[in-house]
Amino acid sequence: MPSLSETIARLSAARGMGRPAARPSRLRELAGFGSNPGALKAYYHLPDGLAPGAPLVVVLHGCTQNAADYGHGSGWSQLADRHGFALLYPEQQRANNPNLCFNWFAPGDIRREAGEAMSIAQMVGRMIETHALDRRRVFITGLSAGGAMAAAMLATYPEIFAGGAIIAGLPFGCASTVPEALERMRGQSLPREAALQSAVRDASGHAGPWPTLSVWHGTQDHTVVPANSEALLSQWRGVHGLAPGPSETAAVAGHTRRVWRDAAGVARIETFAIAGMGHGTPLDAGDGIGAPGAFILSAGISSTRHIAAFWQLAEPVAAAAQDNLSTEAATAAAMRHQNSGLRPDGTKPAKSGPAKIIEDALRAAGLMR
């Protein structure tokens, strides 16, 4: 009998039959970027007339996705055109992972000077050299397995990045096998805070300063449960030497944002809890940036725009889109969404037991919504 993974792969292939032709990609392939020990592909986008010394944003897709689809859905290419920065899209290959997940848990792929991590670092170096980009303003973001891989890059090559953003991802160094990865995704046996912080500090010889971090997670994510965002927070809060409690908490478009600032008042970490949202990248379908799709979820807030603003690559999101509510009001809004019993698209959740396990697996593969 084929495994569930094999079944998902076959259904994914069948799902593509009869689809309209794929949209033309705006991305160009980056070739010859190094030894590429992780056997990844790379694509990039440069806005017309990009000035020398522009920033670079590295964008990592999630499982079952590719660079072009995630670039289109998340809206990063549109935002790059608007604000003038370069984009690099590493892309996973089926020979490395049948579901196109970056191997965020495999020791050989998340170690400095090895595997997929080294391949991505090589891509960044080639982009900076070829296009005269600003090596002081390099940022990385990713969704799900791409988010966990972004966390691995921030840990193994912290000197490369000024900041990172992890969406529905996991902390670095929390798993080293497939069974462990599945457990951590469910929030089981996550390492303690001290071990998580040591994992980052031991991943390179870097002594600081450390990249800033933006963490995004849906409160109804049952694929990678929200406990992982709290583990990420504790991992990087300790590395930055920040206080346990946030410097400020507010509601933004009905979702809860917390910020940790250093002694100079600079925001080093922010977290967004997206009320009622499942597994995916939150999008504001009304602002013209990105397009809803599989794991690109309309949530009334654009993570892409907010992340770019946090990195000071774009203007702050208009105050009119933000609600100056108390922490209690923000929490109450999240609870109302959570207690509604519905997913963000208004459908009922899966049943418990084997049916739920199968439905969750199919949804994670993009075969159900």
Catalytic residue (choose from 74, 77, 119, 144):
144
Q: Supply the pLDDT for residue 3.
A: 44
Whose CA is closest to 99, among 355, 365, 369, 367? 365
Determine whether 144 is an active site residue. Answer: yes
Report the Cα–Cα distance between both ends of the chain, in Å, rounded: 26
Contact (CB, 8 A) for 153 and 147: no
The model's confidence at residue 93, banded by pLDDT at 50, 70 and 90, is very high
Contact (CB, 8 A) for 302 and 214: no
As a whole number, the mean pLDDT across the chain is 85
The model's confidence at residue 339, banded by pLDDT at 50, 70 and 90, is very low
Residue 335 has pLDDT above 70, yes or no: no
Residue 21 has pLDDT above 60, yes or no: no
Between 221 and 25, the more confident residue is 221
The tens digit of pLDDT for each residue in 28-46 reads 999 999 999 999 999 999 9
The model's confidence at residue 354, banded by pLDDT at 50, 70 and 90, is very low
Domain 23-364 has CATH 3.40.50.1820: yes
How far is residue 44's CA from residue 85's CA, in Å, rounded to a whole number? 11
Residue 172: exposed, middle, or buried by beta-carbon count in 10 A (0-12, 13-18, 19+)? buried
Residue 321 has pLDDT above 60, yes or no: no
Q: State mean pLDDT over 57-75.
A: 96
Domain boundaries, the chain: 23-364
The tens digit of pLDDT for each residue in 145-174 reads 999 999 999 999 999 999 999 999 999 999
How far is residue 174's CA from residue 268's CA, in Å, rounded to a whole number? 22
- Sequence-distant (6+) residues with CB within 8 A of 209 are none
The tens digit of pLDDT for each residue in 77-92 reads 999 999 999 999 999 9
Q: Supply the pLDDT for residue 5.
A: 53
